[in-house]
Amino acid sequence: SQTIHQWPATLVQPVGSPLSLECTVEGTSNPNLYWYRQAAGRGLQLLFYSVGIGQISSEVPQNLSASRPQDRQFILSSKKLLLSDSGFYLCASTPRASSSYNEQFFGPGTRLTVL
């Protein structure tokens, strides 16, 4: 099965500062990758997904961006953080090949607090 690594685990950043969250995947090649954000007590909001290197689709307009420089590396960035960017950020992976299951593998997440 796949293993998703995310870092850092927690992060406290001031408003207006930049952001870089990294996600790497083991145990699969050519996966689809996803970034989600979860506000306190809320469901998961899909932010970005990628079907391959350099291919990024944005689900929600915002001051965040994503990049996929390598097959199993997915990066979430911001040039200037807002208070509303606080939340729990999750990276997920799913095999590209046809599967009979809608199973996404999630990383441990990054808890971001913007002050």
Partner 1 sequence: LAKTTQPISMDSYEGQEVNITCSHNNIATNDYITWYQQFPSQGPRFIIQGYKTKVTNEVASLFIPADRKSSTLSLPRVSLSDTAVYYCLVAITGGGNKLTFGTGTQLKVEL
User: Which residues are at the interface with partner 1 (CB under 8 A)?
Assistant: 4, 32, 34, 36, 41-44, 46, 49, 51, 59, 88, 90, 92, 94-104, 106-109, 111
Beta carbon nearer to partner 1, 79 or 95: 95
In 3D, which of 47, 9, 8, 5 has the Cα closest to residue 25? 5
**Min. distance of Cβ 45 from partner 1 in angstroms?**
8
**Min. distance of Cβ 80 from partner 1 in angstroms?**
26
102/92 Cα distance (integer angstroms):
12
